[in-house]
Amino acid sequence: MHDHHEAQGVSSSGVEFDDKGWPAWPDREDLSAEFIKLLAAAQEGGSTVSECWLTLSKIDLASESSWSAEWIKTAELNEARAELSSLSGNMITARRNWLRATTYFHAAARPPGYSNDLLKRAVDGMRRCAIKFLENRVPAGQLLSIHWTDDLSLQACYLPSAVRDDGPVIVCIGEPGSYKEELITKYAGHANERGFALLAVDLLGTQTALPPERLEGHKFEAAMSRVLDFLSEMPGVDRTRIAIVADACNSSLVARAAASDARFAAAVCDAGMWDLHERSFFHRQAGDDRKICWIEEANAISRGIECPLLVTAGEAGWLLPGALAKFGDQLSSIHRDASLILFRRGETAAMQGHIDNPTLANEVIFDWLEDRLGPRKRLA
């Protein structure tokens, strides 16, 4: 494992702040995390800090619909600016506003809206603005539907590289219940600057919500093999340089996909860490003292991943740094090219999922991907 170089108060609207200045709503960690993500999106052009704080000041947490309603209003203001700029031929400003509108609509839908009408309005707006951004991007992106099963298709946003020859593709996966549109803001800039194409995939399809029972009997690993099949037939894609990146750090879905299909050239995921952690928890609950430590055994999932493997984690995340260090040491001993990078509190990107500074984490991740996927033309 490698380390990366490394007063509470209450606002007038009743929002509390932790000792680091982050908003912290009592009993609403989901909203607190969502607002942190919104602020962090400003670094990638997905929001503006002033709009985030202004919208927050208008939210009444006593109202079940206020969160979604206020973010929708902010999103629609950005969408209107985008349309006006587009009509005037100012496409750079139009793209910037469509991207911010996508983020704000996403915030209105995440966590899941309190009102079905508001949720549909938020999701429809998010998808509408994301498509506008893709269509007016240079080179233009597109919305894809990738066949998975007889009754399910994967929906994806494809952003081709500005480098015209065959090149690497980064497949970014949102967890079940998330939306692919959020991944555009988080990863598009990092991929484009390095000459990578980006495929952002989610498991929602065209649904506003996909109930868990719809996924029963369908293996996620098979879905990712379908994605590889699809990309292998696309022009401008080097099928030997397709990498997979998990958007969330608390699931082993992507790790299992990387272990089941040897065609991936690199993988950024949890290496099955959460599978082990959850297994250890159930053993403890059952009183099985023989398997109390979740890293006592070599991880079958990480052993099955043949491609280069990167795990990133934060010191202030859900797992203790000591346990992460031990897991990283074990990972290095059983895999020919694997490492765990731990971000410390003193440098940020240390919260669960790096939500406090995803830019810092993504710079490390995409540098690692660039090293593993080989030389390519760089953009100026």
User: How many CB atoms sit inside 10 A of residue 355's CB?
Assistant: 23
> Is the pLDDT confidence value at 209 over 80?
no
CA distance 342 to 360: 12
pLDDT of residue 374: 73
* DSSP alpha helix (H) spans, 10-58: 29-41, 49-58
- pLDDT tier for residue 326 given thresholds of 50, 70 and 90: confident
245-286: per-residue pLDDT in tens?
988 765 678 888 899 999 999 999 988 887 776 665 555 555
pLDDT at 28 over 90: no
Tokens 């005037």 — which residue? 88
- pTM for this model (two decimals): 0.86
289 burial type by CB count under 10 A (0-12 exposed, 13-18 middle, 19+ buried): exposed
Per-residue pLDDT band at 11 (split at 50, 70, 90): very low
d(CA 221, CA 325): 28
Helix (H) or strand (E) holding 361: helix 358-373
pLDDT digits (tens, 9 = 90+) for 110-153: 765 556 889 999 999 999 999 999 999 999 999 999 988 887 88
Length of the chain: 380
Q: Average pLDDT, stretch 159-170? A: 86
Tokens representing 162 are 């500005």
Residue 278: per-residue pLDDT: 64
**Cβ atoms within 10 A of the Cβ of 336, count?**
9
Tokens matching residue 77: 């203001």
**pLDDT, mean of residues 43-54:** 96
For the segment 44-55, the average pLDDT, to the nearest whole number, is 96
pLDDT at 62: 82
Q: Where is average pLDDT lowest: 1-10, 211-220, 316-325, 332-341?
A: 1-10
Confidence band for 22, pLDDT divided at 50, 70 and 90:
low
Whether the CB-CB separation of 54 and 62 falls below 8 Å is answered with no
Q: Residue 287 and residue 132: Cα distance in Å, rounded?
A: 55
> Is the pLDDT score of 370 beyond 90?
yes
Amino acid at 345: R
Question: What domains are defined for the chain?
Answer: 7-136 (1.20.1440.110), 139-380 (3.40.50.1820)
* Separation between Cα atoms, residue 244 and residue 228, nearest integer Å: 10
pLDDT digits (tens, 9 = 90+) for 78-116: 999 999 999 999 999 999 999 999 999 999 997 655 568
Please state, rounded to an integer, the average pLDDT across all residues of the chain: 83
pLDDT computed for residue 128 by the predictor: 97
Report, as an integer, the average pLDDT of 31-41.
91
The Cα–Cα gap between 197 and 378 comes to 13
d(CA 344, CA 342): 6
* Top-confidence residue, 47 or 326: 47
